[in-house]
């Protein structure tokens, strides 16, 4: 939870899903956006952060995920996935103790429909899951 807490303090919007700890997390971090599942959490985000090892996260549909994210960046803090599989799925994949793969050289911002108090026109929306 310290990752989400830090990101929120930095002004990021954080969408989160955890099958067991979500209720406790939203009580501790009221600015956290709770989601129904991993795909809901990935909706319109600029990066996905996997910070838990629940089995349901081991079998994600990356074709489906790729259609929901703004930028296909996957940060795997548990080394759940094979780096080459992730690169083949079109994701920039960053894991612990291994070199990143699928490096994106250019980011394409989607225009924001409206700006919230956490966003500014000069700074992209930094949203993490």
pLDDT tens-place string over residues 57-80: 999 999 999 999 999 999 999 999
Residue 17, sorted as left (phi over 0), alpha (psi -120 to 50) or beta, turns out to be beta
Determine contact, residues 127/14, Cβ cutoff 8 Å: yes
Tokens of 129: 């899951």
pLDDT score, position 101 = 95
Q: Which residues share a beta bridge with 85?
A: none
Q: To the nearest whole percent, how much of the chain has pLDDT over 90?
A: 76
Q: To the nearest whole percent, how much of the chain has pLDDT over 70?
A: 79
pLDDT score, position 104 = 59
Block residue for tokens 């009221």: 30
What the chain holds in terms of domains, given with CATH numbers, is: 2-128 (3.40.50.720)
The radius of gyration of the chain from alpha carbons, rounded to an integer in Å, stands at 14
Instruction: Provide the whole-model pTM.
Output: 0.77
**Interatomic CA distance for residues 80 and 76, integer angstroms:** 7
Mean pLDDT of all residues in 23-39: 95
**What is the helix (H) or strand (E) element at residue 4, kind and residue range?**
helix 2-9
Whether pLDDT at 115 is above 50: no
């Amino acid at each position: 939870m310290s990752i989400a807490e830090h990101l929120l303090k930095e002004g990021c919007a954080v969408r989160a899903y955890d099958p067991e700890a979500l209720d406790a997390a939203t009580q501790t971090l009221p600015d956290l956006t709770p989601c129904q599942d991993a795909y809901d959490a990935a909706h319109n985000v600029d990066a996905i952060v996997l910070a838990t090892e629940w089995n349901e996260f081991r079998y994600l549909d990356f074709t489906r995920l790729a259609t929901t994210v703004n930028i296909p960046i996957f940060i795997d803090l548990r080394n759940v996935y094979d780096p080459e599989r992730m690169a083949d799925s079109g994701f920039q994949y960053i894991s612990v103790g291994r070199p990143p793969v699928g490096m994106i050289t250019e980011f394409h911002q989607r225009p924001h429909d409206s700006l919230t108090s956490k966003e500014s026109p000069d700074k992209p929306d930094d949203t993490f899951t």
